[in-house]
Amino acid sequence: MKRLTGFKVIALVAVALLLGPVAAPAFQGEGTLRIGGMWALSGGAAFFGKAALGLATLAADEINEAGGVTVAGKRVKITMHPQDDACNAEQGLAAVRRLATVDKVLFSLGPTCSSVAEPVFGTLQKKLGDSGDTGLQLLFFTDTATKFGLAKLSPWVFRNTPDEPAMYDFIVKYLKETKPELKTVMVSYESDFAHSAATWKGALEPALKKYGHHEIKEVVDWRWLDTEMGAQITKLRRANADVYFALAHTTSMCPSLKEMKSQRVRPKMIIGITSLAGTEVLINCPDLAEGVISPTNFAPINPKAKQIADKSWEKYKADSNIHSVPAYENVHLIKGLIEKAQLKNTEESLLEDRRKVRDLLAKVGTFQGVIGKITLHPEDHPVKPRDVDKDMLLVQVKNAKWSVFWAPPHLKGN
């Protein structure tokens, strides 16, 4: 009897195995246009994945409420096809093929994690239009994965993500000009987290060397999941520099700030990493983070931005931040391109349609984002092809909320 039940359980599993992947719906005949997204919707990075999904869905809602998008003379609705990669490379490698060949989406947003983006973008086609290159032909317009240089991996990848070298270059210059009396700096970073290590080695260190104004007193590192930084903070205490660059994500930022408070280390200024400016750190350690400054590309500084932030939270409990708002911008931008591109929107024309949208995206140049103008660089850009330049702001934690510390003058008028 027991063995029978055992096999019943296994039969159940077999059914689940068969049903799951097959249960993909038929193609566009139904009069829709499919867009995909690949995010971490479960696991440790789910906060960022769910936020981007919420903002993308909000954009799709807005378009659909306004009547949809015009394709081949017809008004059609947009449908979202999100896939969860759990911030895991193997799942990402399967999910990207699911988006490309089962969900048959026109383009995909995401992914959340750079460690998923690396293999996924690496397996995309590298030589455009070359049938000898068997990489996957799926257009990506990325919102979150920030690691520098990811868009170079394939001509099918475009990104609307922060440009960290430019951000830290600005910060160092800004400090030199407005606070010349702050002459010494100390730095911490997460040596096992590619994003953090790259921000130090590829963005901040070159900027500090370039301007030559600041003296680096101490550099310490820890692991991004570390919780105990007593020894490192003691070193910072001994260094006692004016400016502290904490290139750490929320997980290690909060315990390190706690240790700093405990050891009474009070630098005159604390500047965090780009991803910090979201709700996560405010939930985790609002009191400790008081006063921390962080570079970002988004803050609710104009009515439009405020409205988006409120609506996405209300409807989808999605946090509007530096990584999620680009998903909203990307959907709106591509909607416009679709109407220009004369797509056929049939199953047979899918590769052709993707290519058309891709070619238009490569020529898009400057477009209007939520808080300011965004410039998408062309493919022959020497440093960062298919990546963007956009306005940056500095925000600061004040009374457990992010508030604007510095904004470019041309945005203040808005």
Partner 1 sequence: MDYYVAIASIIGIHALLGLSVYVVAISGQMSFGQQGFFAIGAYLAGMSTAMWGLGLVPALVLGALVAGAMGFVVGFPALRVRGLYLAIATFGFGEIVRLAFLNVRYTENIGGRVVGPNGAEGFRHVRYVYDRGFTGLHYLAVILVVLVVVVILFFLLERSKVGAKLRAVEEDETAAAMIGINVTRVKVVAFAAAAAVAGLGGGLFIHYSTYIDHDMVALPLAIASVTYPLLGGLGSFVGTLLGAIVLVGLTEGLRGLQGMREFVYGGLIILMMIFRPRGIVDEALVLRVKSWLSPRAPREPVQAP
Partner 2 sequence: MLDATEQFINGLMFGCLYALIGGGFTILFGVMRRFNMAYGSTIMAGAYVALVPVYLFRAPAWLMVLTGIAAAVLVGLLVEFCCFRFIKKGHELAPLMTTIGMLIVINEAIVHATDAVGLKYPSPFGDVALELGQFLVRRDYLAVLVAGVVCFTLIFLLLYRTRFGRAMRAVAERPEAAQILGVSVRRVNVLTFVLTSALAGVIGFFAAVSVGSARPDMAFFVTGKGLVVMVLGGLGSLPGAIVGGLVLGVLEFEATWFLGATYRDILAFVILFLVLVFRPQGLVGTRTT
Q: Does the protein bind partner 2 through residue 251 (CB under 8 A)?
A: yes
Any residues with CB less than 8 A from the CB of 39 and at least 6 apart, and which? 48, 49, 50, 52, 53, 82, 83, 84, 85, 109, 110, 111, 112, 144
**Residue whose CB is less far from partner 2, 167 or 276:** 276
Q: Does the protein bind partner 2 through residue 3 (CB under 8 A)?
A: no
Q: Does the protein bind partner 1 through residue 20 (CB under 8 A)?
A: yes
Parallel, antiparallel or unpaired: strands 215-222 and 107-109? unpaired
3-state class of 136 per DSSP? strand
DSSP at 26:
P
Are residues 385 and 151 in contact, defined by beta-carbon separation less than 8 angstroms?
yes
Q: Which of 98, 173, 344, 381 binds partner 1 (CB under 8 A)?
A: 98
CA-based torsion, 327, 364, 338, 370: positive or negative: positive
End-to-end CA distance of the chain: 73
Q: How far is the CB of 165 from partner 1 (least distance, A)?
A: 14
Angle value at C-alpha 317, between 92 and 147, nearest 5 degrees: 40
Q: Does the protein bind partner 1 through residue 1 (CB under 8 A)?
A: no
Q: Among 42, 37, 83, which Cα is nearest to 57's?
A: 37
Count residues contacting partner 2 (CB under 8 A)?
39
Q: Does the protein bind partner 1 through residue 194 (CB under 8 A)?
A: yes
Are residues 37 and 110 in contact, defined by beta-carbon separation less than 8 angstroms?
yes
Are residues 296 and 222 in contact, defined by beta-carbon separation less than 8 angstroms?
no
Q: Does the protein bind partner 1 through residue 132 (CB under 8 A)?
A: yes
Q: Does the protein bind partner 1 through residue 41 (CB under 8 A)?
A: yes
Q: Does the protein bind partner 2 through residue 349 (CB under 8 A)?
A: no
Restricted to residues 23-52, the positions that interact with partner 2 (CB under 8 A) are 42-47, 50
Site of interaction with partner 2 (CB under 8 A): 42-47, 50, 191, 220-223, 225-228, 230-232, 234, 238, 250-251, 254-255, 258-259, 261-264, 279-280, 283-288
Site of interaction with partner 1 (CB under 8 A): 2-3, 5-6, 9-10, 12-13, 16-21, 23, 41-43, 83-84, 88-91, 93-94, 97-98, 100-102, 115, 118-119, 122-123, 125-126, 131-136, 147, 152-153, 191-194, 197-198
